[in-house]
Amino acid sequence: MENVAMKSPNVGEKKLNRLTKGKKIALSTVYYICGTLLAIIFLFPLVYMLATSTKSESSYAADAGSLMMFLPDFHNLKSAAENYGKVFTDYGIWRYALNSFVYAAIVIVLNVIVNGLAGYVMAKFDFPGKGFFSFVIMFLIIVPVETSIIPLYSIVKILLRLKGTMSVLAVILPSSISVFNIFLFMQFFESIPKEYEEAARIDGAGSLLIFFAIILPLSKPIVATVATFCFIGTWNDYLWPTMVLPYVEEGWPLYPIQSAVTSIQSIQGITTGEIMAALIVTSVPIFIVYVVAQKYIMQGFGTAGLKM
């Protein structure tokens, strides 16, 4: 009887473990199925865009309304070469892309330095009004950017008088300050042990040297996160550059790539394949940057979230 009694709990535990494992397998299966379906749904527009960029106008019209619209035209790759060739040569989208790369590079550097220093001060220094400034940062994060466009336009055009080629500064300077990036830096820097700073101060290092020589090298995940967000934001920016930059009829254009895409779509006689080819060109850099920085982005958000 005692042996039976001792075996009964083991049998019950085994059944419970089987049920638990079964539930985990079922939940994992549902999770992966739902995730796969959602991924397919979100990828449909990209697949359609890529497939259409390889087709002539007649081929696009023939495939419209069928599943063939999601498949590239492998039988006539000449159409794809013509579409992408016109986008780069006839419409000169590479010049606008280069503008966006330059704008993004400058904005990234200024964001890391300016917002990084602000986050470092908020995280590591005690000063009067620190709680108030923390409240202001949190409050400004939830304020829509659109509410500040008109006042900002008045500042850069009337107060700073940024006109002509100087309007490039009107694109760069406002994008160089972000309360959200200050918040990210502040949260990440708070997780860095103070012993690093104390050891550096004993060796005679000042605050700026500590920031650039110790804090930033230890903050690669959050720097990569901020850099990625800055690149995507600058690359996708359309409204603000269109408002402040002048239209250049001759010579090198000042508009970024999103403005070029909008202009290309309004050209008379342009085909759907050429429009989709332009959209592919604008999407590829974002995809590459995100794939490269994805690991650092997850690390940056994970560490910054520890203090939230």
Tally of domains in the chain: 2
152 lies in the same domain as 38: no
Is the residue at 302 inside a domain?
Answer: yes
pTM for this one?
A: 0.81
240 lies in the same domain as 299: yes
What pLDDT, on a 0 to 100 scale, did the predictor assign at position 113?
Answer: 94
81 lies in the same domain as 141: no
160 lies in the same domain as 185: yes
190 lies in the same domain as 254: yes
Is the residue at 2 inside a domain?
Answer: no
Is the residue at 49 inside a domain?
Answer: yes
CATH of the domain at 271: 1.10.3720.10
What pLDDT, on a 0 to 100 scale, did the predictor assign at position 248?
Answer: 77
Token pair, residue 63, equals 């495939």
Domain enclosing residue 78, as ranges: 15-85
Tell me which of 23, 55, 85 is where a domain ends.
Answer: 85
77 lies in the same domain as 98: no
What pLDDT, on a 0 to 100 scale, did the predictor assign at position 11?
Answer: 58
141 lies in the same domain as 248: yes
Position 269 pLDDT exceeds 90: no
Is the residue at 33 inside a domain?
Answer: yes
Once rounded to an integer, what is the mean pLDDT over residues 121-143? 85
Q: How confident is the model at residue 4 (pLDDT cuts 50, 70, 90)?
A: very low
Tell me which of 70, 85, 100 is where a domain ends.
Answer: 85
Task: Annotate 110-172 with DSSP letters as a single string.
Answer: HIIIIIHHHHHHHHH---TTHHHHHHHHHHHHTS-GGGGHHHHHHIIIIIS---GGGHHHHHH
54 lies in the same domain as 76: yes
Q: How confident is the model at residue 5 (pLDDT cuts 50, 70, 90)?
A: very low
Tell me which of 59, 85, 111 is where a domain ends.
Answer: 85
105 lies in the same domain as 223: yes
